[in-house]
Structure 1
Amino acid sequence: MKRIVYKEILDLAQAYKKNSISLPGAVAMGTGVMIGAGIFALTGQIAELAGPLFPLSFIVGAIVTTFSAYTYIKMSNAYPSAGGVGMILKKAYGPTTVAAGAALLMALSMVIAESLVARTFGTYTLRAFGGDPDSILVPVLGVGLIVFAYLVNVSGNRSVGLLSILMAALKVGGIALFGAAGLWASGTTLEVTGGDAGATGFVASVALSILAFKGFTTITNSGAEVTDPHRNVGRAIVLSIAFCVVVYLLVAFAVGSSLPLDRIVAAKDYALAEAAEPALGPTGFYLTVALALVATASGLIASIFAVSRMLAMLTEMKMIPHSHFGMPGTIKDHTLVYTVVIAGILTIFFDLSRIASLGAFFYLVMDIIIHWGVYRHLRHDIGARGWVLLTAITLDAVVLSAFAAIKWQFDPLIVVLAFFGMAAVFLFEGVFLARNPVSEGDHDRY
């Protein structure tokens, strides 16, 4: 049994090839993950919280993300690693419950994002055929896409890579073209008026805007494979965030120029398709739906690959347990199954709004834990400025508090589920690590 596990870990380690990702490739990877299904699903939800000035939410979200990215950049420059977020947490806190729990929160937030993508696929598919967005067919189509993404992933890394590159170019170019064409057709005057949720609502909306940028962590998780990683990981993160800001603003202004706020909110799960018809006509509507389907499918394929790989790495780092459950194959084959099963369950039982909310809670809490750990234990080692780290913590805390307050007012159940979900994660990790302590040698490897 030990020989089998050792071989699986060796095979996993050999899968990470140094200098296999160029700077342009890393930027494309980051933007490909960020620019995709999130913008299709989140634009309407952000408008619902932020009110008439919802495009500004993306700007504020980018500012918060930039402060947050500083920590990841400094750590990746100093310790480029395939361990990514897990490596940062382990170096900051050691092999502890805090490190393992926060790493698992990150992985779960990525799985939650997959269910968001899957339901978005179902919603836009039904919208194309005039179906009811609240139909039971939405989760059915979503689970179908998850199964398809699983089959693509088990076909091998080469299939994932080629398909991801082609679809990334198509969806990024298409979304940017949608924004530019929508603005050209509708003009630059925003139609969104009324329905202002106030300052708290606007700040709360930033939590969802941050979700649209959090894909930059994919670059962090590939640090060991990027060429000249001590310089290029940081550059790739900055460039991908900057590029996404431009595209998101184009889309937000295009939607705001085409529809009044009440229609954006009413169609919040398919706002881009709703905005395309008055601005670009029936042809524009169907092209936007097609673009959404491409973006969701490609995004899900890439995300499942990334999450299963991250879970496999956390297993190798002995931060989470692993069981074969009688399945053949390697650890990564098994984590691929776990990923799609959890994503499928969330797709069936949660709507888009609750999925996005749960992801925002998990990600922001994990982000705060990372910043605090680096501030307390590593900032001098990596040459990080303390005031930037503290600013990142403060901004995350303000956004998280406003988001929790709004959700407690309108949907207290999701706040309760998020709290108990996070408590269960840390309790689970505490029990696991108490029974399976990690040696210092394992701690120093990443």
Structure 2
Amino acid sequence: MQDSKISLRDAVSIGIGGMVGGGIFAVLGLAVDLARGATPLAFIVAGFIALVTAYSYAKLSVAYPDRGGTVRFVNEGFGKGVFSGGVNNLLWISYIIMLSLYAAAFGSYAPNLFGITGDDATDSHIYLSGIILLATFINYYSIAVVGKIESYAVIIKLVILLAFVALGFYGLVGNDNLGQLAPDNWVSPVDILTAGMVIFVAYEGFELIANSAPDLRDPGENIPKAYYYSVGFVILLYLAIAVITVGSLEFSEIATARDYVLAEAAKPMLGQIGFTIITVAALISTFSAINASLYGGSRVSYELAEDDELPHSLTDSLWNQPVGLAITAVLTLVMANTLKLESISTAGSVGFLLVFAVVNLVGYRKSADTGSNRIIPMVGFIICSVALVTLLVQQYQTARTGVLIAGGIVSACFLVEWGYKASRA
């Protein structure tokens, strides 16, 4: 009989594929805008928080293997009440925020290859709306097709990005812009932390390993390895990309091409061909991320309805898929077409920092059951909380809209849960 269990390599691929989706293409220019020459350090800061949080996820995934992943962990830690329901609702909405981020990135890169109206801003909205609708159609057509697209896309985007890194480091030799990485071009430590938190969404995705934990071969040994290998690899990849980008382009060039800066960074090495190749990689990556996240988001809403944290009507089918798929797609269309990239990124980082802070707290509370070191989850909870507060305070001063939107989303998630529980009392 064929072994249906997935291997360590498969699990690592899930983690890397979840992180290296559309996030790096969407937020790289924003990162340089905020952190200047300290951009590589900002990615390290965000990566460290992801790595510490991965420890809690690894221990919880071994102790409570469940396809519900984060939803199961929060319920184990706090029971099925208003608090856990609000956090899990926030997880679903955070998926929608990430979908909006990926769609916005697709819309920014696509006009560089194909102009429709001659107005890049208009073209961007046409493309981002079109790709959401296409991915929604594919999800309704066949989940198997979603899986095949993701498996091929992971290979293609990693090959292109690793080639970019190899050629990029070669191209840095003797480049006059390398001086931009010097400490005199760094921003303050608080601004570096803030930049790291705004771009934290680029690391979102490693938690998808938790959803595959029940299917992983030798889970006690392979689950922790899957988390650490995937997060460690992505930290190094992002660090290399940040160094090459800041070392290849002047800050003024990065600002001009902020929404598609990774493609612009390929020009000094390979000219227009390099620009086109990275643009194609961005389109493939963001499309695959939208495709997979639509399914993931609909599954979260289904799990919440099954756990009685949202109305049971969300378990109903619409065209042979959970109705949550249609709701997720519609909300993504609205958010992607109404919010600016920075506001989307801030809201996404706030959502996942809060969710990860709670998961770390669960890891601390359940350390006796999971056999984990109590100190590491508590450190994870503290640094996620400090990072969240720092992000909110700093962004409120410079980008107040994003903070207000994030606050409204978080409040709504808990109010909806409170209202739903009260109506059933």
Q: What do the CA deviations read for 1:93-137 (whole angstroms, capped 9, x no partner)? A: 001111111111112111111111111111101123578886122
> Do the aligned residues in 1 keep the contact of 2:38 with 2:185 (CA within 8 Å)?
no
Higher mean displacement: 193-202 or 72-81: 193-202
Corresponding residue for residue 336 of structure 2:
347
Corresponding residue for residue 102 of structure 1:
87
Q: What CA distance in whole angstroms lies between the structure 2 residues aligned with 1:207 and 1:400?
A: 7
> Do the aligned residues in 2 keep the contact of 1:82 with 1:223 (CA within 8 Å)?
yes
Q: What CA distance in whole angstroms lies between the structure 2 residues aligned with 1:158 and 1:327?
A: 18
Q: What CA distance in whole angstroms lies between the structure 1 residues aligned with 2:339 and 2:4?
A: 40
> Are 1:144 and 2:141 matched, yes or no?
no
Q: What CA distance in whole angstroms lies between the structure 1 residues aligned with 2:255 and 2:387?
A: 21
> Do the aligned residues in 1 keep the contact of 2:264 with 2:275 (CA within 8 Å)?
yes
Counterpart selection for 1:154 from 127, 131, 140: 140
Q: What CA distance in whole angstroms lies between the structure 2 residues aligned with 1:325 and 1:316?
A: 7
Q: What CA distance in whole angstroms lies between the structure 2 residues aligned with 1:310 and 1:411?
A: 30
Q: What CA distance in whole angstroms lies between the structure 2 residues aligned with 1:40 and 1:21?
A: 29
Corresponding residue for residue 88 of structure 1:
73
Corresponding residue for residue 176 of structure 1:
162
Corresponding residue for residue 388 of structure 2:
400
Displacement of 1:37 after TM fit?
Answer: 1.3
Displacement of 1:287 after TM fit?
Answer: 0.9
Corresponding residue for residue 15 of structure 2:
30
> Do the aligned residues in 2 keep the contact of 1:23 with 1:232 (CA within 8 Å)?
yes
Counterpart selection for 1:219 from 194, 204, 209: 209
SS of residue paired to 2:220: helix
Deviation beyond 4 Å, 4+ runs, structure 1: 129-134, 193-196, 324-327
> Are 1:41 and 2:26 matched, yes or no?
yes
> Do the aligned residues in 1 keep the contact of 2:316 with 2:323 (CA within 8 Å)?
no
Gaps in structure 1 of 5+ consecutive residues: 1-16, 438-446
Counterpart selection for 1:315 from 305, 308, 315: 305
> Do the aligned residues in 2 keep the contact of 1:191 with 1:261 (CA within 8 Å)?
no
> Do the aligned residues in 2 keep the contact of 1:119 with 1:138 (CA within 8 Å)?
yes
> Are 1:288 and 2:278 matched, yes or no?
yes
Query: Sequence identity of aligned pairs in percent?
Result: 29
Number of residues of Structure 1 aligned to a counterpart in Structure 2: 419
SS of residue paired to 1:320: coil
The one-letter amino acid paired with 1:142 is L
The one-letter amino acid paired with 1:179 is V
From the superposition, tell whether residues 137 and 66 of structure 1 become closer, same or farther in structure 2 (CA, over 3 Å): same
Gaps in structure 2 of 5+ consecutive residues: none
Q: What CA distance in whole angstroms lies between the structure 2 residues aligned with 1:70 and 1:24?
A: 19
Higher mean displacement: 257-266 or 399-408: 257-266
Displacement of 1:30 after TM fit?
Answer: 1.2
Higher mean displacement: 74-83 or 191-200: 191-200
> Are 1:232 and 2:222 matched, yes or no?
yes
> Are 1:252 and 2:242 matched, yes or no?
yes
Which TM-score applies when normalising by structure 1? 0.88
Corresponding residue for residue 111 of structure 1:
96
Q: What CA distance in whole angstroms lies between the structure 2 residues aligned with 1:318 and 1:259?
A: 52
> Do the aligned residues in 2 keep the contact of 1:182 with 1:280 (CA within 8 Å)?
no
Displacement of 1:227 after TM fit?
Answer: 2.1
